[in-house]
Structure 1
């Protein structure tokens, strides 16, 4: 009898549920919590670009000088700096992207700063103003997904703030 119980208990250990870490999508471990870098610069914000990659969609903010800081996070709604008006965005979730650098221009189309039609994750990039030394963009994404933000130096004396949003968890 004891031998039968030991065999049954040992069998449960071999065939029962096991704890194993799920393999993350494309090795991404970014998460969806706010990302912040408090460095403020006077380098003007000069352009916004977007790109598609195998595992994520990317937005790049070009600056004329040293890398700026940022505050990026999911919000219920993005509001214009200064006025507080809500910026309408397409998508199931919204990222507020604040680059701690001024912009001395307004894009031709404030609601479609960059054409992201056909992207897997990005749905819209909208202008939310430049006010008191910081510039805000609203980014509509398909859903609340992992993202990362970082800065790059170059080309030349310029720099970039980069936002990558994963295609899935």
Structure 2
């Protein structure tokens, strides 16, 4: 009889523990070290740039897993949501879209530290703007005086998107 009560108590403990474990939110950390789980939606936290001898570089920093990215030439840049034209000087533009992604946290506070609208004086890259953080899509625009020839790649630990834009022939930084 005592053996049956022990087995019943053990079974009840297992069911209870399983029920408690099922109530932990999916995004919560279960580690005791204090580390938190990466965000479920990628967060775009910064955009930075630099000039090199033969190319300019634009880097977009991501917190969380790298989302799918598209980089497309555009005849003009427009703010997502409003459709208003982005006032960046240039003849050529690239639209960089990351989705699903956000530039704000779950409380709606901005986590993006990069430029909102900035003129840049590099041989190729002439401006950068955050053009949208709307409905799970973060978009950033880049402006150029000459048609950009570029390479896109992702780097990890930390996550970042890198766009290298070749300088025009004969141009030196």
TM-score (norm 2): 0.65
1:110 aligned to which of 84, 107, 116:
116
1:42 maps to which residue? 41
Deviation, structure 1 residue 96: 1.0
Gaps of 5+ in 2: 1-39, 105-109
Partners of 1:66 and 1:108 in 2: CA distance? 19
Q: TM-score, normalised by structure 1?
A: 0.66
CA distance in 2, matches of 1:124, 1:135: 17
Q: Cα deviation per residue 1:66-100 (whole Å; 9 max; x = unaligned)?
A: 11221111111111111111112112211111122
- Where do 1:15-164 residues align within 5 Å? 42-100=41-99, 101-104=101-104, 105=110, 110-112=116-118, 116-117=120-121, 119-155=122-158, 159-164=159-164
In the TM superposition, residue 107 of structure 1 has moved relative to its aligned partner by: 5.5
- Separation (CA, whole Å) in 2 of partners of 1:94 and 1:67: 23
Task: Give aligned pairs, total.
Answer: 123
Q: 1:86 to 1:63 in 2, by over 3 A?
A: same
**What is the root-mean-square deviation of aligned Cα atoms in Å?**
1.9
How many Å separate the matches in 2 of 1:63 and 1:129? 15
Of the structure 1 ranges 81-90 and 102-111, higher mean CA displacement relative to structure 2 is found in 102-111
How far 1:145 moved relative to its partner?
2.2
Once residues 73 and 114 of structure 2 are traced to their aligned partners in structure 1, the CA distance between those partners, rounded to angstroms, is 26
Structure 1 runs (4+) deviating above 4 angstroms are 106-109
Where relative contact order (Cα < 8 A, 6+ residues apart) is larger, the structure is 1
How far has the Cα of 1:133 moved from its partner? 1.1
